Amino acid sequence: MADVKVLVVDDSLTMRVLISGALERIKGVTVVGAADGAAEAREMVEQYRPEVMTLDVEMPGMSGLEYLAEMMASRPMPVIMFSTRTAAGAAESIEALRLGAIDCFPKPKVAVQAELDAIIGKLGKRIKSARNADLKRTTAGTLGHARKAPPAPMNWNGRLLAIGADAANTQALFDLFQDFPANGPPTLVVQQMTEGLLTPMVEQLRERITPKVVEATDGMPVEQGTIYFAPQGDSHMVVDSWPNGKIRLLAREPVAGERPSISLLFASVAKAAGSNGLGVLVALDDEDGAAGLRAMLSGGAYAIGRNGTDFTLSKGSVSQSVAGDAIAANVLKLCGR
């Protein structure tokens, strides 16, 4: 397979050199250009046709967020953001992900190669998986905190929903949860993202959606109308029983390099809820998650997972294709009477 072509955009010459040098050391990645801002980036996009862009959040003139919003509305491209604020969980990083960026990484506090070396493995993996990013041209690519009108209440059938995602699916999660009513299905979410971004993610969701959104704690009861995000750190999130289940946080080793693990969450839902469970895997890289979906199906539950750039809804031997923008409708149908 040909190398992934990457364009680096940063107003700092030092950072352009540093990031370009780090990327060139990743096998299967080629840096085709380095731009000092949005104006030069537009020209290089036309000239070099990059497949992925790295973009600085804090640039003079047109900011990285403004340029990202422009791109996602006119010419969507997989974009990885760099920001001095991402490590602290700044709202700008979540806004970038909501606008369509596939990940956010912290810029080095000191412009030395050693700091980039610490993230080079994950950065390379994210760039290569970006080819499979499910991007869409959207007029929703604007800054702000608009809330949609509350969806109509649903008649819940008792089904427990589990979702596995990564940073690249932030926009998809916002779109999905905006269609959930206040009394929507109880929802357990493992989203794998940069340390420090979970709290601002939850805070922004609270401003935009109708259901209650919380960071899960050990022993928390799982209730209708609430979305529970697994905490970042040193534990996995599972559910102990269903119905009337509680969240349990388990201090165990990573699964497929991830903690919290999507597969462990899915497996616990399969065991606890059986046919009353529903698993949705939207993550681009299903190394952690695919085994969990298989467990859901073995337990008689429904499962929605990626099939190329689209999704497949399965139960037993029966499967059907589901477009990315139709996941919410299918989830609410499966969770309603």
Q: How far is CA 115 from CA 9, 19, 112, 127, in A?
A: 19, 11, 6, 18
Confidence of residue 111 (pLDDT cuts 50, 70, 90): low
Confidence of residue 87 (pLDDT cuts 50, 70, 90): very low
- Of 99, 159, 117, the closest CA to residue 25 belongs to 117
Q: What is the pLDDT of residues 159-169, one digit of tens each?
A: 999 999 998 88
Who wins on pLDDT, 232 or 142?
232
Confidence of residue 85 (pLDDT cuts 50, 70, 90): low
Contact 227, 182 (CB under 8 A): no
CATH fold of the domain at 4-132: Rossmann fold (3.40.50)
Show Cβ contacts of residue 247 under 8 Å, excluding neighbours closer than 6 positions.
188, 216, 217, 218, 219, 220, 221, 222, 228, 237, 238, 239, 240
Question: Does 160-334 match 4-132 at the fold level?
Answer: yes
Q: Where are the domains of the chain?
A: 4-132, 160-334
Q: Does the pLDDT at position 45 exceed 90?
A: yes
The residues with which 320 forms a beta bridge, in sequence order, are 313
The reported pTM is 0.89
pLDDT at 177: 96
Q: Does the pLDDT at position 107 exceed 70?
A: yes
CATH homologous superfamily for the domain 160-334 = Methylesterase CheB, C-terminal domain (3.40.50.180)
The residues with which 237 forms a beta bridge, in sequence order, are 249
